[in-house]
Amino acid sequence: MDELDARHRVAAARVAHLATTRADGRPHIVPVCFALDGDTLVSVVDGKPKRSANLLRLDNVRAHPAVTMLVDHYDDDWSQLWWVRLDGVAAVVVDGAEHAAAIALLEAKYSQYRTVRPSGAVMSITLTGWAAWEATAPGI
């Protein structure tokens, strides 16, 4: 798939998997809701049940800002499989214009955020690289 197709698939996806690095060097991977705006991807600490609003992913980004996001599609028809991996540099944004703009993007994508507006920290990821794969032949 070309980059334009990859961008369309990422923008339409409802969930991605965020990989960050813990203080001890181990990977930490969690599913996240997100929105794509050009070469920036945003996610927010929302009201879904969590142990705390002080999430490990935020601590990880503050210590090691390099992150990876994976968006993928599985189907029992393996000719329909695809994935897009996005590498980037993340920052935690807690208020201000950048925070408000990220929330607006997320509200536009997810009706749940229009019902209950998230107010937690935003993770803003400046994308530095894309890689993509898709099945191209039936019966793989």
Residue 24: per-residue pLDDT: 94
In the chain, the percentage of residues whose pLDDT exceeds 90 is 79
pLDDT tens, position by position, 94-127: 999 999 999 999 999 999 999 989 888 999 999 9
Domain residue spans of the chain: 3-134
What is the dotted CATH code of the domain comprising 3-134?
Answer: 2.30.110.10
> How is residue 3 written in tokens?
């980059």
